[in-house]
Structure 1
Amino acid sequence: MCSSKLKNLTQENISQINGRQVLQPKSNQVPTLDRRNSLKKSPPSPKPLNSLASKIPSPRPISLISPPLSPNSKSLRSKPAGSCKELLRSSSQKSRPVRSPENSDGGCYKEVVSMAIVQKQPGSIAAARREEVAMKQEERKKKISHYGRIKSVKSNEKNLNLDQEEKKKRCSFITTSSDPIYVAYHDQEWGVPVHDDKLLFELLVLTGAQVGSDWTSVLKRRNTLREAFCNFEAELVADFNEKKIQSIVNDYGIDLSQVLAIVDNSKQILKVKRDLGSFNKYIWGFMKHKPVTTKYTSCQKIPVKTSKSETISKDMVRRGFRFVGPTVIHSLMQAAGLTNDHLVTCPRHHECTAMAAL
């Protein structure tokens, strides 16, 4: 009797769960049939949002979605009204993921989450909108700067500096590559009225020497010419004999015809001094002792000779001067200040005019 009761107890303590026999403790015995019926499977509780989000498929590439740049486009208007529309609007304003209400449908939640993920990516709607606004602001700044609506202080200072440089601009034949000795001659001597006989004789020699050459080369040889011709003392040069002339040709490398012309011109200057009192009176007499002030704006407009230079040249040739063509005489007139051919934009123009008025 006892053994049969123990056998029943062991059979009762053994129950089948999932097709397997499991030995359960006495305190957890298999429930009766009524209790089994009452403990039916309850409906599964809703899973949390995180588990749903993990099962949502990844969104398609942005190039395939191709969302519109403007929030007022037709694609956004075609979205369903209600909670989905509000969630989409909040997702466009905030970059964090949006939680849908419990009573909303799963399709709307999937769409909101996918839009939030797309918005975080570099090519999203918000990023494209920000780039568009930035580009429009840059274009507006460029237009404002182009049409001069904003005048910066730096541009004004630059214009003032350019105006000052324009006022200080020399004659156009003086360039940045001009030799300093030529620039100094322009700034200190060219166009200044000269009334000294010795200096007039020197300028006559220099203007004759620059035929077939240039002023820079002649000015570099100026000290050599002064030494060779006794500082252009007409009385001493007129006494040169053939031996002295030949030594000048050999020692200083000056052409023989040029040396002979200088000696002959010195003799003619002495004759002018005996007739008129000075070489200065002779030269300035053609100008009525008053320099001519021109108003040229370009060096191309300055002539190489004038009617006045032709008149002086003819008279000097008649007197026996050599190397005194109209072009050489016009150059002498410019160098000795008989005519002020500085450009009106050159500062020396006004300075030489003021000197001539004294």
Structure 2
Amino acid sequence: MCSAKPKSQQLTMPKINGRPVLQPTCNRVSSLERRNSLKKSSTKSPANSPPVSPKLPSPRPPAIKRGKDVNDTEKALNTITPLFMTKAINEVKKSKKSSAVVPVETSLLVETPGSIAAARREQVATMQEQRKMKIAHYGRTKSAKFDSPLDAAGVVVGSTREQKRCSYITPNSDPIYVAYHDEEWGVPVHDDKLLFELLLLTGAQVGSDWTSVLKKRQTFREAFSGFDAEVVAKYSEKKIKSINTEYNIELSLIRGVVDNAGRILEIKKEMGSLEKYLWGFVNHKPISTQYKLCQKIPVKTSKSESISKDMVRRGFRFVGPTVIHSLMEAAGLTNNHLVTCPRHLQCIALASKTPSLAPTAQ
């Protein structure tokens, strides 16, 4: 009979697909030895474990409780002393010497976390007070007299506050352009010949500049017979071509001036003069604007558009809204000098002296 093996020596063999698989027995460790090794490893700390860092003190200052003595608060504040708290601490030190109790603001000593905000609030309050003072005294300085002489840079001489010309007049501007600004631009014009001339100049300066047009002003006067509408309206084609060759003026511009002269004669028959026709659109009173910057001045307005539409309907040429707006500025129908320019009030004074030519009721 075969002796049966003890149960402790019977080992379970692994199976794959129901078949036992043999394995070497040299690597097997008994369960008792395995348990003992696990107990020993649990008692020892691992060799590669990082050391535990000690607890560092908190960087925040100790909290100051209400009701403590001033000496305790001074000790706590010695750790952190911002610049805005030096004054309060000096007052505490003086109170020790004089043995008198000095009232200290609680926003500086007691409420340390909010003291920065309190200082900021004081700063904002100071800035607001300064701003109110500036607003209260805004515009109270004495303005300069507009009849004072001007120097070469366009500044009023002997004034308490500098009054400059319109900003497009610079020290580099041509003298002929500066003279036109100081003597003619914005001055009310009531002469038909001068209005006819300004109509030509404003149309010719489109795509060019005022300085170039003003330099040709005498040439235009000679070519168009002093802007006599009755003479210019009778120019023949031969006369137009001779003006083109002699004065080097574009044919389209010459023909436009001749056509406009015929339209002016029609207006004279209907209304009496070109002056009454143009000034009737503004009720025979110049429009005075209050611009402080040249960038704010428009290139055309609703008034110039309405005048342009009526003149186009009558057969005029070179009378777009921009050209008519420039004509209104040049002829004084509108005063677009800046309020800082000395000519602003001077043109207003000249307009008040000019007698109104509005038709009177009979």
CA contact (8 A) 1:204 1:332 kept: yes
Q: Note the 1:247-262 alignment, pairs <5 A.
A: 247-262=242-257
Aligned with residue 223 of structure 1, among 213, 218, 221: 218
C-alpha distance in 2 between matches for 1:279 and 1:176: 37
1:164 Cα deviation after fit: 3.2
Q: What are the superposed Cα offsets for residues 46-76 of structure 1, whole Å, 9 maximum, x if unpaired?
A: xxxxxxxxxxxxxxxxxxxxxxxxxxxxxxx
Shift of 1:234: 0.4
Paired residues for 1:44-59 under 5 Å? none
SS at match of 1:167: coil
Please name the residue that 2:55 is paired with. Answer: none
Query: 1:271 corresponds to which residue?
Result: 266
Distance 2:210 2:252 in 1: 20
C-alpha distance 161-307 of structure 1, shift in aligned 2 (>3 A): closer
In 1, distance between residues paired with 2:279 and 2:322? 17
Q: Report the counterpart of residue 277 of structure 2 in structure 1.
A: 282
CA distance in 2, matches of 1:195, 1:161: 29
Distance in 2 separating the partners of 1:181 and 1:165: 29
Q: Secondary structure in 1 aligned to 2:165?
A: coil
In structure 2, the partner of 1:101 is none
Is structure 2 residue 311 aligned with structure 1 residue 316?
Answer: yes
Cα-to-partner distance string for 1:128-160 (whole Å, 9 max, x where unaligned): xxxxxxxxxxxxxxxxxxxxxxxxxxxxxxxx9
Indicate whether 1:185 and 2:180 are aligned: yes
Q: Identity across aligned pairs (percent)? A: 69
- Superposed displacement of residue 162, structure 1: 9.6
In structure 1, distance between residues paired with 2:301 and 2:240: 34
Q: Which residue of 2 aligns with 1:345?
A: 340
- Residue 170 (structure 2) pairs with residue 211 (structure 1): no
CA distance in structure 1 between the partners assigned to 2:206 and 2:265 by the alignment: 24
Partner of 2:232: 237
The equivalent residue for 1:292 is: 287
Give the CA deviation at 1:313: 0.1
User: d(CA) in 2 for partners of 1:162 and 1:225?
Assistant: 36
C-alpha distance in 2, partners of 1:251/1:218?
17
2:318 corresponds to 1:328: no
Superposed counterparts of 1:68-107, under 5 Å: none
Distance 2:306 2:314 in 1: 13
> Given the alignment of the two structures, is residue 201 of structure 1 paired with residue 196 of structure 2, yes or no?
yes
Residue equivalent to 1:15? none
Q: How far, CA to CA, are the matches of 2:274 and 2:182 in structure 1? A: 25
More helix by share: 1
Counterpart CA distance in 1 for 2:210 and 2:183 is 15
Give the structure 2 partner of residue 357 of structure 1: 352
Kindly provide the amino acid, as one letter, of the partner of residue 219 in structure 1. Answer: L
- 181-190 or 160-169, larger mean C-alpha shift: 160-169
Report the Cα offset of residue 357 of structure 1: 1.2
**TM-score with structure 1 setting the length:** 0.54
**Aligned-partner Cα distance in 1 for 2:319–2:191:** 19
Q: Give yes or no for contact 1:167–1:347 (8 Å, CA) kept in 2.
A: no
- In the TM superposition, what is the alpha-carbon distance from 1:167 to its structure 2 partner? 3.3
Computed over aligned residues only, the root mean square deviation of the Cα atoms, in angstroms, reads 1.6
Runs of 4+ in 1 over 6 A off after TM superposition: 160-163
Structure 1 unaligned regions, length at least 5: 1-159
Aligned ranges 1:147-186 → 2 under 5 Å: 164=159, 167-186=162-181
> How does 1:24-35 map onto structure 2 within 5 Å?
none
Secondary structure (helix, strand or coil) at the match of 1:200 reads helix
Deviation at residue 166 of structure 1 after TM alignment: 5.3
Contact 1:316 1:324 in 2 (8 A): yes
Would the aligned equivalents of 1:306 and 1:330 in 2 still touch at CA under 8 Å? yes
Which letter maps to 1:312? I
Letter aligned with residue 336 of structure 1: A
Counterpart contact for 2:156–2:162, Cα < 8 Å: no
TM-score by length of 2: 0.54
Instruction: Say if 1:229 and 1:237, in contact at 8 Å, map to a contact too.
Output: yes
Work out the CA distance in 2 between the residues paired with 1:316 and 1:161.
40
TM-fit CA distance, 1:163 = 8.5
Q: Which residue of structure 1 lines up, in the alignment, with residue 19 of structure 2?
A: none
Q: CA deviation at 1:165?
A: 8.3
Which runs of 5 or more structure 2 residues have no equivalent in the other structure?
A: 1-154, 354-362
Indicate the SS of the match to 1:344.
Answer: coil
CA distance in structure 2 between the partners assigned to 1:165 and 1:339 by the alignment: 29
Partner AA of 2:294 in structure 1? C
Paired positions, count:
199
**Aligned residue number for residue 302 of structure 1:** 297
